[in-house]
Structure 1
Amino acid sequence: MTSLNILSGGAAQGLVGSLAAKFKEQTGLDISGEFGAVGAMATKLREGTLADIVVLTSALIATLTGEKLVDRTWVKDVGRVETALAVRSVDPLVSAPDAASLRAAFLAADAIFVPDTKASTAGIHVAKVLAQLGIADEVANRLKIYPNGATAMRHMAETDARKPIGCTQATEIIATQGIQLSGALPKGCDLATVYTAAVTAKAAHAREAQVLIDLLTSANQQHLRERAGFLLV
């Protein structure tokens, strides 16, 4: 069966999944492709991976537009996503209203689950925050690094660690069974990233890609975006 091909940051996986049935109803197409670290997804597009639509950070979409890899006439913001803390559903929430309490929370954890610290938006930021807090070396052997936040959260849900904590984008936390959102990072350590959808320059299904972008960004789907963890831009 013919599918719409997507390359997307992991932050949008839950939202795209929630709209898949409605999209198929309108177009007859399924949605296939990859969700992962935004840097890795951009590299795949540059290297020729077939895609009709990309959902990446607004900064990356702007770069890809300049490289003529996306159609500048079909670029729309989906929403803003906070980098946040996660705990297992069976564990108490961790409160980190300031940098000192965030530092204490990381130090108290025996395992810290994070996405790729070199290619993912949240992972790069987590590495920066750990250095900022002066504990990067101290917790280095506790870091459990996975290709993307969704994978990190799935492994965290299954871990036998005594007191694990996770840090990735809120959308990936919300979408993972067995994990609960424990709050955004405090001011000074926080990060909110705008995600943007765009039709690729070589889209085989450009019209259908536009349909999905309309679904992702329409006012009628605001409740789904909020439920998935997307805030207004």
Structure 2
Amino acid sequence: MSALKILSGGAAHGLVRSVRGQFRELTGLDLKGEFGAVGVMAGKLRAGIQADIVVLTAALIADLVRENLVTAASVSDIGRVETALAVRAGDPPVVARDGPTLRATFLAADAIFVPDTKTSTAGIHVANALAKLGIAGEVADRLNIFPNGATAMRNLAASSAERPIGCTQSTEIISTEGVTLSGSLPQGYDLATVYTAAITATADKAEHARVLIDLLTGAGQHELRTRAGFVDI
């Protein structure tokens, strides 16, 4: 089966997976691509990796428009995604109401599972939050860093640590079996990121890419987006 090629941030993986069947019915095409840290995915497009559609942060999509790598007319916002805390399924929830309780939450954990702290949206934010809390050095040896949030959450689910937690985007927590969304980050340490889809300038299947964008952003998909962890803008 021929396929539409996608490069996407990991935050959108669950949502894309949920519309895959509808996309097949409408187009006769499968979906094929990569999901990972948004900086890495943008880098692949810039390096010449062929794709029909990209789903990245709104800021990165704006850069790609200026670089003439995606078509401006195709740019469509999907929704906002919060960076949040996660625990293993069955573990007591953790709640961070403010900076001091967030600090205490990180310090109480004996393992902290996060995505790449240099190329992923959530990982960069976690690193900045730890620095702001003044505990980056103190918890450095507890950080378990993975290429993307989904991989970090799978490893959290399998962790044998006594008090592990995770921090990544809510969509990646929701879509991973064995972990539970435990709460948003408190004000002053929170992050809500807008994710956006766009058709690439070199798309082989631009019309089919438009179908996928409509499935991801349409009013009829509101419930799917909500279940996946997206908040309408």
In the superposition, the TM-score normalised over structure 2's length comes to 1.00
Counterpart of 1:222, as a letter, is H
Cα distance, 1:50 vs. partner?
0.9
Cα distance, 1:60 vs. partner?
0.2
Cα distance, 1:42 vs. partner?
0.2
1:62-141 matches, cutoff 5 A: 62-141=62-141
1:200-211 matches, cutoff 5 A: 200-211=200-211
Q: In the alignment, is residue 188 of structure 1 matched against residue 184 of structure 2?
A: no
Equivalent position of 1:215 in the other structure: 215
Name the SS for the 2:77 alignment partner.
Answer: strand
Report the Cα distance in structure 2 between the residues aligned to 1:85 and 1:12, rounded to whole angstroms.
Answer: 18
Report the Cα distance in structure 2 between the residues aligned to 1:72 and 1:2, rounded to whole angstroms.
Answer: 26
Equivalent position of 1:20 in the other structure: 20
Name the SS for the 1:112 alignment partner.
Answer: strand
Deviations 1:170-219 (A, max 9, x none): 00000000000001100000000000000000000100000000000000
Report the Cα distance in structure 2 between the residues aligned to 1:166 and 1:159, rounded to whole angstroms.
Answer: 11
Counterpart of 1:16, as a letter, is V
Equivalent position of 1:146 in the other structure: 146
Q: How many residues align?
A: 233
After superposition, the CA RMSD in angstroms is 0.4
Q: In the alignment, is residue 30 of structure 1 matched against residue 69 of structure 2?
A: no
Report the Cα distance in structure 1 between the residues aligned to 2:142 and 2:96, rounded to whole angstroms.
Answer: 19
Equivalent position of 1:231 in the other structure: 231
Name the SS for the 1:70 alignment partner.
Answer: coil
Deviations 1:60-107 (A, max 9, x none): 000000000001111100000000000011101101011110000000
Name the SS for the 1:92 alignment partner.
Answer: coil
Report the Cα distance in structure 1 between the residues aligned to 2:7 and 2:108, rounded to whole angstroms.
Answer: 36
Report the Cα distance in structure 1 between the residues aligned to 2:194 and 2:177, rounded to whole angstroms.
Answer: 24
Equivalent position of 1:50 in the other structure: 50
Deviations 1:132-157 (A, max 9, x none): 00000000000000000000000110
Report the Cα distance in structure 2 between the residues aligned to 1:71 and 1:132, rounded to whole angstroms.
Answer: 38
Counterpart of 2:116, as a letter, is D
Equivalent position of 2:40 in the other structure: 40
Report the Cα distance in structure 1 between the residues aligned to 2:101 and 2:122, rounded to whole angstroms.
Answer: 19
Name the SS for the 1:231 alignment partner.
Answer: coil
Q: In the alignment, is residue 3 of structure 1 matched against residue 14 of structure 2?
A: no
Counterpart of 1:98, as a letter, is D
Report the Cα distance in structure 1 between the residues aligned to 2:169 and 2:225, rounded to whole angstroms.
Answer: 14
Q: Which consecutive aligned stretches of 4+ in structure 1 deviate over 3 angstroms post-superposition? A: none
Report the Cα distance in structure 1 between the residues aligned to 2:2 and 2:71, rounded to whole angstroms.
Answer: 22
Report the Cα distance in structure 2 between the residues aligned to 1:203 and 1:215, rounded to whole angstroms.
Answer: 18
Report the Cα distance in structure 2 between the residues aligned to 1:191 and 1:129, rounded to whole angstroms.
Answer: 10
Cα distance, 1:123 vs. partner?
0.2
Report the Cα distance in structure 2 between the residues aligned to 1:96 and 1:75, rounded to whole angstroms.
Answer: 35
Name the SS for the 1:151 alignment partner.
Answer: helix
Counterpart of 1:139, as a letter, is V
Give me the identity figure in percent: 67
Cα distance, 1:232 vs. partner?
1.3
- Segments of 5+ residues of structure 1 without an aligned counterpart are none
Name the SS for the 2:127 alignment partner.
Answer: helix
